[in-house]
Amino acid sequence: MNQEILTYIAVFSGFTGLVLSAAVLIYILRWRMAFVLNDNDGAKRFALIPDDVLNENNKHLKTARKALKDFYLELEELTDRSTLKNESIVKPLIASHEQLKEDQRKVFQVHQESLKVLAELKEETNILRSEIQTQARELDRHREGYDTDILKASLIPVARMHRMIRKDLQNEALSEEARQTLEALEDEHLEVLETKGVKLVPPPIGAKHREQKNIKHPPQVEPATDESLAGTIKTVLSPAYELETSARNIVLLEAQVVVYSAAQEPAFEHSGADPELNQGN
């Protein structure tokens, strides 16, 4: 009896051991060799990891890799967008900068040309001043004993130059430097004329031009809208230049006027030209 019990126990123990061995073998077969990084030195080492744990780990790793790939794609797309946006901002800035450089070049070129013109004008001004001084000396000599005809001949060029400068000053397109230069020249010519006894005498507006003396004939005319205005002075283009002497007043240049004409009379073309610049009195 005892022998049977022992045999039974031995068989049961062997069977139990066999089952446990099989279970352990099956459990061990579910483990796999895998590389594991050491947290201390970062070196790779082999380790046994359960298959389900490894599968779960691979699943998470695959998910992480996909997320990382999506992140890099999104980052690349954002980078491309940023590049396009920067190009859309930078290109107009570059174009504006180039246009600014071109405008600066043009302004510099215009400035250089203006300086050149101003230098030429100053040179001409110096020449005119020299001529004025020469004429003034000649006029002083005339005052001291030369006859009136010679004095008149010497003053007429100065009067014509003064009239021409006054006409040029009416040009609204003059630069500020040119206007200042011409005004200075006008003052110098007027000073010479006044010093020698020359006065500017404008005829009265609205007066009958035939009753006035020292008017250039024929005058420029414009048709009158009112018959009562026919023959009257509408505009004074330039006053008369008269030299006062002890004996009499001598007309150097006659006044230039515009006169109203009757409606049936043909009108001269009002060109605004100065006939005194091309012919004498």
3-state secondary structure 92-117: HHHHHHHHHHHHHHHHHHHHHHHHHH
Global confidence as pTM: 0.44
Q: Which residues contact 81 (CB under 8 A, 6 or more apart)?
A: none
Q: Which residues contact 175 (CB under 8 A, 6 or more apart)?
A: 114
Q: What is the pLDDT of residue 160?
A: 93
Tell whether omega for the bond before 239 is within 30 degrees of 0, i.e. cis. Answer: no
User: What is the four-CA torsion angle of 130, 255, 241, 202, rounded to 10 degrees?
Assistant: -120
197's torsion region: left (phi>0), alpha (psi -120 to 50) or beta? left
Of the pLDDT bands very low, low, confident and very high (cuts 50, 70, 90), residue 74 is: confident
Q: What is the pLDDT of residue 38?
A: 53
First-to-last C-alpha distance (Å) of the chain: 175
Q: What is the pLDDT of residue 281?
A: 45
Range 75-84 average pLDDT: 77
Identity of residue 223: P
Q: What is the pLDDT of residue 26?
A: 61
Q: What is the mean pLDDT of the chain?
A: 78
| Whether residue 53 has pLDDT greater than 80 | no
Q: Residue 156 and residue 253: Cα distance in Å, rounded?
A: 7
Q: Residue 168 and residue 175: Cα distance in Å, rounded?
A: 12
| Whether residue 153 has pLDDT greater than 90 | no
Q: What is the pLDDT of residue 107?
A: 83
CB neighbourhood size of 165 (10 A): 20
126's torsion region: left (phi>0), alpha (psi -120 to 50) or beta? alpha
The pLDDT tens digits of the residues spanning 122-142 come to: 888 888 888 888 877 777 665
**Share of residues in the chain with pLDDT > 70 (%):** 74
Coil, strand or helix: which one is 42? coil
Dihedrals phi, psi of 93, to nearest 5 degrees? -65, -45
Q: What is the pLDDT of residue 271?
A: 47
The pLDDT tens digits of the residues spanning 203-256 come to: 999 999 888 888 988 899 999 888 888 999 999 999 999 998 877 888 999 999
